[in-house]
Structure 1
């Protein structure tokens, strides 16, 4: 069983819980998710099965989209309502006009400070471990990209908005920063991931739905391994050069049917006889473009062009 399942993670479950559930359900160990969702959050969690686990890093790179709700007038140490309250202030009414004006500060490439309660590692240790032990540590800012923030609704003390952003963006940190500019403070009260790369919540399967399936039904919902990699150009290797491909040999223009090669450093999908065999990257060697395979499936993978 090799492919990807678009899972809808419920609130209250960790991403690891979802992986554990699928390992038991599919009777397989080789299963991994493609981007942690906090227990407080719900939504799209693509899970790689079998050989597809080798693609997880490529899927992690994809942009995400969320619907977030912020509670005005409260700040916590975790930047969400599950943390210890650090400060309470009187919430201010936030109209769409006010929200849009503040949100404009965070559109584009920004420097963001991750929450101390996060799984980021510093000196081989996760930040939340330092926090739980009461150890103060300097958390370096990270550069992330926010492509869009869109107001959806508001009440006297809450605002709901949609945000599209790059990998590594902490919506909790974004809400903390929005609250600081508004002047009343804010913490995340709800978060739904509606999209991760090509995976959308409208096609995601709940754990209850998967629990009710037998093995044959689960295989039917498996997404082919190469399906979410459409942003990477496909390269079709000649049948006569198939042995070079399967042995991970650097490929030259004479070995492929897909010409011209993309620009240097472009990541590409590799196929032979319309079967997906892995990934590679365009490199320059002696002034000529070549393809260096980064990993290869020697057996046929369930993808085609």
Structure 2
């Protein structure tokens, strides 16, 4: 009798070790470190491609079984992201797989932490370095203390006017479509209240202020740190090809490039802000407060809803092709979600 019980227990242990449940939790959230030059939708497309190429993997099979929709019967898993990050920007994009997509609404509405590089002395159509030059302004009058005082003026609840080149809809049309097609807006872009929880100066080019160590860690001070308009496409190994970005500024015959550095004044800030905050607008408004013009040259999202760069719940784009790593990241991500809920 005892021998038969031992055999049954061994048999159950063996069958469990091969069960798809070893990938439990099977659905949830994790984060991807999006590189510059790719859209947030590219992450979703890439994961969908990986899952389709690995339909027989227990992780994918279980996702499709739990879904049971017409989409799943076609072999398509449910996947989405929790908040768009501009192609210029890089860093944390929260991703949901399966039932985890239901948690994404809370992600997009959560506060976020960014490190941004701004350049005073030049403004552009897009308020970042991908746009055309529209104005120049002085910078010689700006000292470090002036910038610090300006940052203090933007802490707390402030009013922002979203940029024309943004995904906000007006009468069923995206604002950037009005801009790209040269169409007048039906009305002025309404201002909105946003919350700046923290605003810290990380570097100032006065020759005496050492830059914050995080800037070197995240690649802001490298020789190529100001080439954000060029895509840094990862090496995809499963035949995935990202969709080509539309409306590259160089394709516009009227495009006026912004003069290259060292002209202007380049600085770095860390921003902890509410959902809906445009860092491009923040830098342009800071510049106006200082009596000049400015634009954003680089942006990194380092944290969103407890998901941080470098933690076990965050993957690089290439790592998403390893479903075992995706499974472990989801397990870590679900722990993050429980801690922050």
Answering whether residue 35 of structure 2 is matched by residue 17 of structure 1, we say: no
Deviation by residue 1:230-253 (Cα, 9 ceiling, x = unmatched): 444xxxxxxxxxxxxxxxxxxxxx
Residue in 1 that maps onto 2:258:
none
Residue in 1 that maps onto 2:73:
none
| Structure-2 separation of matches of 1:108 and 1:217 | 39
Pick one of 206, 219, 232 that aligns with 2:316: 206
Residue in 1 that maps onto 2:190:
140
Answering whether residue 43 of structure 2 is matched by residue 43 of structure 1, we say: no
Deviation by residue 1:256-296 (Cα, 9 ceiling, x = unmatched): xxxxxxxxxxxxxxxxxxxxxxxxxxxxxxxxxxxxxxxxx
Contact 1:65 1:194 in 2 (8 A): yes
Larger relative contact order (CA 8 Å, sep ≥ 6): 2
Structure 1 residues 9 and 93, CA gap change in structure 2 (3 angstroms): farther
Report how far residue 229 of structure 1 moved: 5.0
Report how far residue 46 of structure 1 moved: 0.8
| Structure-1 separation of matches of 2:320 and 2:44 | 12
Residue in 2 that maps onto 1:55:
103
Pick one of 99, 106, 118 that aligns with 1:70: 118
Report how far residue 95 of structure 1 moved: 4.0
Residue in 1 that maps onto 2:284:
176
Residue in 1 that maps onto 2:337:
228
Structure 1 residues 93 and 29, CA gap change in structure 2 (3 angstroms): farther
| Structure-1 separation of matches of 2:142 and 2:319 | 39
Residue in 2 that maps onto 1:259:
none
| Structure-1 separation of matches of 2:130 and 2:149 | 28
Deviates more, 1:65-74 or 1:200-209: 200-209
Contact 2:79 2:98 in 1 (8 A): yes
Deviation by residue 1:107-126 (Cα, 9 ceiling, x = unmatched): 11111000000001111111
Contact 1:72 1:185 in 2 (8 A): yes
Structure 1 residues 29 and 85, CA gap change in structure 2 (3 angstroms): farther
Contact 1:94 1:159 in 2 (8 A): no
Structure 1 residues 99 and 218, CA gap change in structure 2 (3 angstroms): same
Contact 2:306 2:340 in 1 (8 A): no
Report how far residue 90 of structure 1 moved: 3.3
Report how far residue 198 of structure 1 moved: 0.6
Contact 1:93 1:157 in 2 (8 A): no
Residue in 1 that maps onto 2:204:
154
Kindly tell me the number of residue pairs found equivalent between the two proteins. 230
Residue in 2 that maps onto 1:121:
169
| Structure-2 separation of matches of 1:18 and 1:219 | 16
What RMSD in Å do the two structures reach over aligned CA positions?
1.6
Partner SS state of residue 182, structure 2: coil
Partner SS state of residue 195, structure 2: strand
Partner SS state of residue 43, structure 2: helix
Structure 1 residues 141 and 30, CA gap change in structure 2 (3 angstroms): same
Could you list the runs of 5+ residues in structure 2 that have no partner in the other structure? 1-25, 53-75, 206-263
After TM superposition, the runs of 4+ consecutive aligned structure 1 residues lying more than 6 A away are none
| Structure-2 separation of matches of 1:14 and 1:99 | 32
| Structure-2 separation of matches of 1:100 and 1:39 | 29
More helix by share: 2
More strand by share: 1
Deviation by residue 1:21-75 (Cα, 9 ceiling, x = unmatched): 1111123441111011101100011101111111111111211000001011001
